[in-house]
């Protein structure tokens, strides 16, 4: 088994620096979610974090780099909260996976500013020179791989039909999610994102599972199954 060197908790000025970075990221995340990236100045973020714009620049270098730190921190928290979406979850139940995906979608709707930000940035990031290009490239590969891993386990367990293409299904799920997010953002929240997404995943479940049944009631959508 691979051995890992224990990490020591930072002390003194290093601990203070770490806690200050966390406070800045939390403040930026909250403001980006509420007002969007363009309407959130470093001065306002600094005010909410109890620091100064100079300190933010010292820690992150620029507003763009702060944005990347926010996106990465949000993804880490999502992975911790929605455990079944991780490739190491050990799960093989496709219905449980899809209910977790729906719970994540409902959770994301509570942060409309970040959905709009994600939608805009993911489109812009198609340009290799965009500062978020590498982040989104790696993120799509990582999320698709995580979904495909669980889907392959479902095939191996006999829940999904033989011949199911786990990676293809994973890419389809991501494409539908992103497409609905774009429409939801343009409709300013008037689109039933979760309802439409659930209907798609239900049809997908009926088409792919050996028993041909849909999602069923499962767990209530609107929050994680486990924190």
State pLDDT tens for residues 145-203.
999 999 999 999 999 999 999 999 999 999 999 999 999 989 988 999 999 999 999 99
- Whether 135 maps to a domain, the answer reads yes
User: What is the number of structural domains in the chain?
Assistant: 2
Domain end (from 44, 70, 96): 70
Same domain, 227 and 170: yes
Q: How many CB atoms lie within 10 A of CB 122?
A: 17
Q: Which residues pair with 156 in a beta bridge?
A: none
Q: Which residues pair with 160 in a beta bridge?
A: 209
Same domain, 149 and 212: yes
pTM: 0.76
Whether 7 has a pLDDT exceeding 70, the answer reads no
Residue 59 to residue 194: CA distance in whole angstroms: 37
Same domain, 63 and 124: no
Write the DSSP assignment of 140-171 as a string of letters: HHHHHHHHHHHHHHHHHTTSBPTT--HHHHHH
Mean pLDDT, the chain, rounded, equals 84
Instruction: Report the CATH number at residue 35.
Output: 1.10.10.60
Cα torsion 190, 192, 194, 197 to 10°: value is -120
Nearest to 109 by CA among 50, 61, 180: 180
- Return the top range by mean pLDDT from 115-119, 131-135, 199-203: 199-203
Domain end (from 70, 100, 115): 70
Cβ–Cβ under 8 Å, residues 66 and 56: yes
Query: Which phi and psi (to 5°) does residue 8 adopt?
Result: -90, 145
Nearest to 213 by CA among 152, 165, 159: 159
Query: Which pair of tokens denotes residue 17?
Result: 């620096």
- Whether 1 maps to a domain, the answer reads no
Same domain, 142 and 174: yes
Residue 40 to residue 91: CA distance in whole angstroms: 39
- Whether 100 maps to a domain, the answer reads yes
- Whether 210 maps to a domain, the answer reads yes
- Whether 155 maps to a domain, the answer reads yes
- Whether 178 maps to a domain, the answer reads yes
Same domain, 20 and 97: no
Residue 34 sits in which domain range? 8-70
Same domain, 211 and 112: yes
What are 32-81's pLDDT values in tens digits?
A: 877 778 888 999 999 999 999 999 999 999 998 998 898 888 888 777 77
Cβ–Cβ under 8 Å, residues 175 and 162: no
Same domain, 95 and 143: yes
Residue 73 to residue 83: CA distance in whole angstroms: 16
- Whether 3 maps to a domain, the answer reads no
Domain end (from 35, 70, 105): 70
Same domain, 169 and 198: yes
Query: What is the structure's pLDDT at 227?
Result: 29
Query: Which phi and psi (to 5°) does residue 209 adopt?
Result: -80, 150
Cβ–Cβ under 8 Å, residues 125 and 135: yes
Same domain, 173 and 223: yes
Same domain, 108 and 208: yes
Query: What is the structure's pLDDT at 12?
Result: 53
Residue 69 to residue 28: CA distance in whole angstroms: 10
Cβ–Cβ under 8 Å, residues 187 and 125: no
- Whether 75 maps to a domain, the answer reads no
Whether 207 has a pLDDT exceeding 60, the answer reads yes
Same domain, 105 and 45: no
Same domain, 227 and 121: yes
Interhelix angle 94-108/166-186, rounded to 10 degrees, is 20
Instruction: Report the CATH number at residue 106.
Output: 1.10.357
């Amino acid at each position: 088994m691979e051995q890992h060197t224990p990490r020591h908790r930072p002390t003194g000025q290093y601990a203070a620096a770490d806690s200050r970075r966390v406070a800045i990221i939390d403040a930026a995340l909250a403001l980006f979610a509420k007002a969007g990236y363009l309407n959130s100045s470093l001065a306002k973020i600094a005010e909410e974090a109890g620091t100064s714009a100079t300190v933010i620049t010292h820690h992150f270098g620029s507003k763009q780099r702060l944005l990347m730190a926010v996106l990465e921190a949000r993804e880490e928290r999502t992975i911790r909260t929605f455990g079944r979406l991780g490739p190491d979850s050990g799960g093989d139940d496709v219905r449980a996976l899809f209910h977790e995906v729906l719970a994540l979608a409902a959770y994301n709707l509570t942060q409309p500013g970040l959905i709009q930000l994600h939608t805009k940035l993911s489109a812009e990031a198609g340009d290799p020179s965009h500062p978020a290009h590498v982040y989104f490239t790696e993120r799509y590969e990582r999320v698709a791989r995580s979904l495909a891993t669980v889907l392959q386990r479902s095939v191996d367990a006999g829940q999904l039909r033989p011949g199911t293409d786990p990676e293809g299904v994973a890419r389809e799920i991501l494409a539908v999610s992103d497409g609905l997010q774009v429409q939801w953002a343009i409709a300013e929240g008037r689109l039933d994102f979760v309802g439409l997404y659930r209907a798609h995943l239900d049809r997908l479940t009926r088409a792919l599972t050996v028993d041909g049944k849909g999602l069923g009631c499962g767990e209530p959508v609107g929050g994680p199954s486990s924190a």
